[in-house]
Amino acid sequence: MFHLAAGRVGSLAAKRATAALSTSSARMMASHGHEVSTAVDMSKPQYTDSADYPLPDVPYKQVLTDADKSLKQKEKGPWNQLSKEEKLALYRLKFLKTYPEMRHSTPEWKTALGAALFLMGLTGFIVWWQKVYVFPKRPRTFEGDWPEKQLKRMLDMRINPVQGISSKWDYEKGQWK
């Protein structure tokens, strides 16, 4: 079950892991696949395309045509008698994707980034509404000349005189250095 969740989902698509449990996308996760009407029997070994699981539990094509069957018979003999096309056909019987195809990037990141930024923008509106209807008044320490008096008091107390705020104030001239 573990490699099923890891297989074919890519780093951005954590949400797709839940899709792995749904009936339709056991195999065609990269494409927004066609819906399969029959449920996949999860108690049986599954086929997965995963870079870290090179040899899946079952071959991809399990229902073989007669041509496929005769090819599999030929495979039992010496392999240098197989033509290049036959070798490729045998590969595609066993596997859905090659490693480069598996690793191929998708444009999904654009959707992910767009959605994230959009939701951040939406949050901005929510916070604005909160400012109007929810937040209490700001503390009085922000109003009028309170901040200025607060700073003067800090300088009088010699707060952080070595490297901090009081070190930036010229006490002789009464101004910032």
Partner 1 sequence: MSLAKPMMRGMLAKRLRLHLPLAFVVSFSSALAFNLLIAQPRKRAYAEFYKNYDSVKDFNAMREAGIFESVRPIEK
In the complex with partner 1, the residue whose CB is nearer, 40 or 82, is 82
Tell me the pairing of strands 175-176 and 169-170: antiparallel
In the complex with partner 1, the residue whose CB is nearer, 54 or 136, is 54
Beta bridge partners of 170: 175
Q: 38: closest CA among 48, 47, 26?
A: 26
Handedness of CA 125, 126, 131, 133 (dihedral sign): positive
In the complex with partner 1, the residue whose CB is nearer, 65 or 163, is 163
* Residue in 3, 94, 153, 168 binding partner 1, rule: CB under 8 A: 153
Q: Which of residues 17-76 bind partner 1 (CB under 8 A)?
A: none
Token digits of residue 43:
């108690």
Q: Is 177 in the site for partner 1 (CB under 8 A)?
A: no
Q: Is 162 in the site for partner 1 (CB under 8 A)?
A: yes
Q: Which residues bind partner 1 (CB under 8 A)?
A: 84, 87, 153, 156-158, 161-163, 167, 171
